[in-house]
Amino acid sequence: IDFASPIDSPFYRGCINTHDYITDPGYQKANASFVMLTRNEELDGVLITMQSLERHFNQWFQYPYVFLNDKPFTEEFKSTIRKYTTAECHFGVVESIDWEFPEIITSKNGAETRNPLFDMAIHDQGDRGIMYGNMESYHKMCRFYSGMFYRHPLVTKYEWYWRIEPDVQFYCDISYDPFVEMHKHGKKYGFTVLIKELYWTVPNLFRFTKSYIKKERIKVGTLWELFTKNYKIIEPISEQHLLMDKFINKDDEVNDEFSRYVEMEYLLNNIDKKLNNAIDNEFLSDLMNDGDSHMDPSKIIKDKNGISSIIKSSMRKPPIVEDKFDNEEYNLCHFWSNFEIARVDTFNNDLYNKYFQFLEESGGFWTERWGDAPVHSLGISLFLNKEDVHYFRDIGYQHSTLGHCPANAKGQQLPYVANPKYEQEIFPKYYDSSLWNFLKTKKKKETEYSSGC
Ligand code: GDP
Ligand code: MN
């Protein structure tokens, strides 16, 4: 495996003097902003992110911030924010037409009337303990980020955006301009964490994506391969997906270098055993303990055999897949979209917008809990190639319990990483890193980057 391949190599190796970098006559700032959708109540978390970003990047680069909200920001929010940066700050309200679900969708797919396309209703998600499944605002947020944010007038003023969220930490200095470097290298989309989605949040997303491809006769880009897998067996796969999250990594050390993936073959060989032993206490307690944030503990009711109702109901098969697309199935990989550095027109173009519209009309943002991350990933893979995407493996990033720790973060005190010795992915047991798919490798060498010098 060639780690210096154009797809994966960092833009710089070795130390960069940021002052020299920005005063170089050849350097011209990009037309770019940070974009954050957030709520007034999240001010503390927003400040954590800003302090970290200012300290490690924006004190030198002075890119403006765009804050969006479905409700107006308070004066207190705005004036506090402005104390934390000398860069410009813009505050926008999202039009209710861009935020609320169209009535045709909510009335058709509400709790009473079931969505005939899905054979389930929104409350099924909550009932089945799916993370955020019955939280309407979360569905709206996902839909907004999937198909709306890049059309907001404050965002379209710029050519590039860097998406940020409350409670994000950057560990290492970002000593060069990622927008400018992406532009120079012809990149359109950049990520730092690649993981797998929880199957039951998107059981029908791929089916609709494939229908769209057929309908529009799209010849997909090479990025498509990253998100798909040719399964020989399609039907039982849904159960396997669900269980996959639980079985992998049991024996792994928490931060084992890039070892947190599972071979499909391993799964196929072991799944019967695991299913048959579903009462296996160890398995059950694993499932319960690891599920803290995406399974609501109050929903966990065990029957007399100790089998949780969540497991039972989650094992319900999804509707029959009618349009099998050469046996392709979604492998659940996605770029973790709370970090994105991208061209605005990576999304704001006819192909993607039509794709979003198609998904919207299916009602899936409402009936299922389609995240913007898998939607973005599948959406851009319709027309991007792998080399259009940049892996920012030199950016130290953490949000909630997931993150990426570059080699240069060595010796720093990071949450969840007691002693960062080498570059690593950080994520809880119930997630599965997908870097494997991207890098197509099992092990990689420690590399020094420009960050953190
Ligand atoms: P998670 O990271 O998937 O757990 O999702 P978050 O709760 O962090 O939401 C993602 C982003 O959307 C964050 O920047 C939130 O501040 C923002 N967000 C989520 N729900 C709402 C909402 O109802 N209104 C507004 N204005 N922002 C929201
Ligand atoms: Mn978040």
d(CA 187, CA 174): 18
As a whole number of angstroms, the distance between CA 314 and CA 299 comes to: 12
Angstrom distance (rounded) from CA 312 to CA 334: 27
- The CATH fold of domain 18-204+331-439: Spore Coat Polysaccharide Biosynthesis Protein SpsA; Chain A (3.90.550)
Q: What is the C-alpha separation between 227 and 374, in angstroms, rounded?
A: 9
Task: Kindly give the confidence (pLDDT) of every residue in the chain, 453 residues in length, as a single tens digit, with 9 standing for 90 and above.
Answer: 233 343 467 888 777 899 999 999 999 999 999 999 999 999 999 999 999 999 999 999 999 999 999 999 999 999 999 999 999 999 999 999 999 988 877 776 554 445 555 544 454 555 445 566 667 889 999 999 999 999 999 999 999 999 999 999 998 889 999 999 999 999 999 998 887 777 667 878 888 898 899 889 899 988 888 887 653 322 233 333 333 333 333 333 333 322 222 233 333 344 344 433 332 333 333 333 333 233 344 444 455 544 444 443 333 333 334 445 556 778 778 899 999 999 999 999 999 999 999 999 888 898 888 999 999 999 999 999 888 999 888 888 988 777 777 766 655 655 555 455 556 666 554 455 555 445 433 233 444 455 544
Residue type, 397: Y
Ligand 1 pocket, CB under 6 A = 36-39, 42, 69-70, 137, 141, 165-166, 338
pLDDT of the residue at 278: 34
**Residue 403 CA to ligand 2 centre (angstroms):** 12
Which residues lie below 8 Å from residue 33, measured CB to CB, with a gap of 6+?
63, 64, 65, 66, 90, 154, 155, 157, 158, 160, 161, 162
Of 54, 165, 340, 425, which residue is the catalytic one? 340
Distance separating alpha carbons of residues 255 and 394, to the nearest angstrom? 17
Instruction: Output the pTM of the full model.
Output: 0.78
C-alpha–C-alpha distance, residues 246 and 335, integer Å: 21
* ipTM of the complex model: 0.99
Three-state DSSP state, 21: helix
Residue tagged 């037409």 (tokens): 97
Active site residue 340: yes
Q: State the closest ligand 1 atom to the C-alpha of 400, by its place in the atom list counted from 1.
A: 2
Q: Where are the domains of the chain?
A: 18-204+331-439, 233-329
Please give the share of the chain, as a percent, with pLDDT higher than 90: 40
Task: List CB-based neighbours of ion ligand 2 within 5 Å.
Answer: 165
Contacts of 179 (CB under 8 A, 6+ apart): 30, 32, 63, 160, 162, 341
As a whole number of angstroms, the distance between CA 375 and CA 337 comes to: 10
- pLDDT tens for 112-143 read 445 555 544 454 555 445 566 667 889 999 99
Q: Which amino acid is at 342?
A: A
Gap between the Cα atoms of 222 and 116, Å rounded: 33
